[in-house]
């Protein structure tokens, strides 16, 4: 995001800024996937069902998504360093509350509060970092920041599985507490305060978007339990859709909109964001179920499941830089399209191969194909988003794309879990696979549709340098954000 406004120098160094913001980005990105390999242990300990597990994941991603751009606005108005510290305090306190949760209701509430804190912290890491580092060193600094978030995403399932197996699932949340407590005073002492050029807050837009997305996710989660034609479910869909329409209409007329609708007039911007939503819908929903499959059906321990997820989650760290270089040569659109197509193929391979007693070696090709596809998607897609807007709008465009991806992840968990529970369940290995296979086909279909939508993007050889630099730095964090 573009740094503007007056700044009061406190003697903080660029090194401190890189360290503080990178570590903050690490813990907020970590909580996207660290919970996945702990879900069976949480279900066993707290007695939750599939619906509770869905909300354990979606409560974080949904609040993170809808409040992401609002968090940046709060920093612009009240001070970025101040709000960064407040966001860290909320995230840290909520992490402790999640670890101490006596039941699923309390855990879900704590996860939602974590999402609020992360939504404030994450966008401010970029503005604070950009303000502290000189232009000639900013690319390297953003690379460190992006690498930290990328490592968090890649190792999230492994870290979650290791902590769950050797300590307890509560430690996937306790691990945030000492880091957060250390970062808060460091941020106040070592970072410089600044304000943004637009101090207005889009409260109405935030309320409309939050209510609309909650209504739709609620209806998807409750559909199989209450019945798809029941009043609560139909009411959730209708009210959610109406609020989202109201959000669009309000943003079109607002003087200072949270999400300027004019950005979507650019065909490539609309296409890459629609494709991103579908991509995360298919991939995040699939990861939610597959991490449970490895333990519930495969019989692996939480740590063993995390290790076996690495060919998927860690592959973007290898394929991403290669995809970025390739996109510089031939343009980002074809690379992103192929990446999404590979993801669809990988999920299809899973659906064809998975069965109650299949060996891991038979599943490995699907993991690798999905990992390569993810790596080909993230950096080029971020670059495409940046190249479709003016430099002064890159912060808004990046925030919008991140939020849309997180929304896709929340809807994906709810949608694929609804398919899973309609066709199978946790009763036996065969029953789990009966539900998993159609859910994977739905995920593959969503990602294949994303690849088709990506074909609408205009071919562009190379984005300008500033966009490319920011995209390269922010790409890994966009992973999940699934």
Q: What is the pLDDT of residues 162-209, one digit of tens each?
A: 999 889 999 999 999 999 999 999 999 888 887 766 667 778 888 888
For tokens 């298919």, the residue is 282
Q: pLDDT averaged over the chain?
A: 81
pLDDT of 276 reads 87
pLDDT digits (tens, 9 = 90+) for 216-250: 888 887 777 777 788 888 898 899 899 989 988 98
* Cβ-based burial of 284 (10 A; exposed 0-12, middle 13-18, buried ≥19): buried
For the chain, percent of residues with pLDDT exceeding 70: 87
CB 308 within 8 A of CB 371: no
Query: In which band, very low, low, confident or very high, does the pLDDT at 108 lie, cut at 50, 70 and 90?
Result: very high
pLDDT of 211 reads 86
Query: In which band, very low, low, confident or very high, does the pLDDT at 436 lie, cut at 50, 70 and 90?
Result: very high
Query: In which band, very low, low, confident or very high, does the pLDDT at 147 lie, cut at 50, 70 and 90?
Result: low
- Give every CB contact of residue 388 below 8 A, 6+ residues apart in sequence: 263, 266, 268, 269, 272, 397
CB 258 within 8 A of CB 202: yes
* Cβ-based burial of 294 (10 A; exposed 0-12, middle 13-18, buried ≥19): buried
| 70-79, 403-412, 465-474: range with lowest mean pLDDT | 465-474
| 122-136, 290-304, 441-455: range with lowest mean pLDDT | 122-136
Averaged pLDDT for residues 317-346: 81
CB 420 within 8 A of CB 436: yes
pLDDT of 467 reads 39
**Alpha-carbon distance 461 to 271, whole Å?**
17
Please indicate whether residue 473 or residue 95 has the higher confidence score (pLDDT).
Answer: 95
For the chain, percent of residues with pLDDT exceeding 90: 21
The yes-or-no verdict on residue 3 having pLDDT over 80 is: no
The yes-or-no verdict on residue 476 having pLDDT over 50 is: no
The yes-or-no verdict on residue 478 having pLDDT over 50 is: no
pLDDT of 468 reads 38
Cα–Cα nearest to 374, from 422, 311, 295:
311
Please indicate whether residue 273 or residue 73 has the higher confidence score (pLDDT).
Answer: 273
Please indicate whether residue 143 or residue 77 has the higher confidence score (pLDDT).
Answer: 77
pTM exceeds 0.85 for this model? no
The yes-or-no verdict on residue 332 having pLDDT over 80 is: no
The yes-or-no verdict on residue 356 having pLDDT over 70 is: yes
Cα–Cα nearest to 145, from 155, 158, 130:
130
Count Cα neighbours of 376 within 13 Å in the Cβ-side half-sphere: 22
Integer angstrom CA distances of residue 376 from 171, 219, 320, 386, 473: 33, 33, 6, 17, 15
**Alpha-carbon distance 406 to 70, whole Å?**
15
pLDDT of 442 reads 94
Query: In which band, very low, low, confident or very high, does the pLDDT at 4 lie, cut at 50, 70 and 90?
Result: very low
pLDDT digits (tens, 9 = 90+) for 273-293: 898 889 889 988 888 888 888
| 153-162, 375-384, 438-447: range with lowest mean pLDDT | 375-384
Please indicate whether residue 133 or residue 292 has the higher confidence score (pLDDT).
Answer: 292
pLDDT digits (tens, 9 = 90+) for 5-57: 444 434 347 888 888 988 998 888 888 778 888 888 998 888 877 778 888 88
Question: Phi, psi at residue 196, to the nearest 5°?
Answer: -90, 170
The yes-or-no verdict on residue 365 having pLDDT over 80 is: yes
The yes-or-no verdict on residue 261 having pLDDT over 60 is: yes
């Amino acid at each position: 995001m573009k740094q503007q406004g007056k700044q009061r120098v406190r003697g903080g160094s660029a090194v401190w800024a890189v360290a503080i913001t990178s570590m903050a980005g690490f813990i907020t990105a970590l909580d996207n996937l660290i919970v996945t390999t702990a879900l069976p242990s949480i279900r066993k300990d707290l007695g939750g069902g599939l619906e509770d597990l869905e909300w354990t994941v979606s409560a974080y991603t949904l609040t993170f998504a809808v409040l992401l751009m609002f968090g940046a606005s709060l920093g612009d108005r009240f001070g970025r360093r101040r709000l960064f510290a407040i966001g860290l305090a909320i995230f840290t306190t909520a992490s402790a509350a999640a670890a101490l949760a006596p039941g699923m209701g309390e855990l879900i509430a704590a996860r939602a509060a974590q999402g609020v804190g992360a939504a404030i912290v994450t966008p401010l890491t970029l503005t604070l970092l950009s303000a502290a580092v000189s232009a000639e060193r900013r690319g390297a600094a953003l690379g460190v920041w992006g690498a930290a978030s990328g490592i968090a995403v890649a190792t999230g399932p492994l870290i979650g599985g290791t902590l769950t197996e050797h300590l307890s699932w509560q430690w996937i949340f306790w691990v945030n507490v000492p880091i957060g407590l250390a970062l808060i005073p460091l941020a106040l002492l070592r970072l410089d305060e600044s304000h943004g050029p637009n101090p207005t807050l889009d409260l109405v837009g935030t309320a409309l978007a939050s209510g609309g997305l909650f209504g739709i996710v609620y209806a998807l989660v409750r559909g199989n339990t209450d019945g798809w034609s029941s009043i609560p479910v139909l009411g959730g869909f209708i009210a959610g859709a109406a609020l989202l329409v109201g959000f669009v209409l309000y943003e079109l007329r607002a003087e200072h909109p949270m999400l300027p609708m004019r950005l979507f007039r650019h065909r490539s911007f609309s296409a890459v964001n629609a494709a991103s939503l579908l991509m995360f819908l298919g991939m995040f929903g699939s990861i939610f179920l597959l991490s449970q499959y490895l333990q519930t059906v495969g019989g692996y321990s939480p740590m063993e499941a995390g290790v076996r997820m690495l060919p998927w989650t860690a592959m973007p760290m290898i394929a991403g830089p290669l995809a970025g270089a390739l996109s510089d040569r031939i343009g980002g659109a074809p690379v992103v399209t192929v990446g999404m197509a590979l993801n669809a193929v990988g999920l299809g391979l899973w659906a064809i191969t998975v069965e109650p007693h299949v060996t891991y070696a038979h599943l490995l090709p699907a993991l690798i194909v999905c990992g390569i596809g993810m790596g080909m998607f993230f950096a080029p897609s971020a670059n495409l988003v940046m190249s479709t807007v003016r430099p002064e709008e890159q912060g808004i465009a990046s925030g919008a794309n991140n939020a849309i991806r997180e929304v896709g992840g929340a809807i994906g968990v709810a949608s694929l879990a609804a398919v899973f529970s309609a066709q199978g369940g946790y009763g036996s290995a065969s029953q789990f696979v009966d539900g998993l296979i159609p859910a994977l086909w739905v995920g593959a279909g969503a990602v294949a549709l994303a690849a088709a939508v990506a074909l609408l993007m205009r071919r562009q050889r190379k984005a300008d340098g500033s966009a490319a630099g920011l995209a390269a730095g922010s790409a890994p964090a966009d992973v999940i954000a699934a």
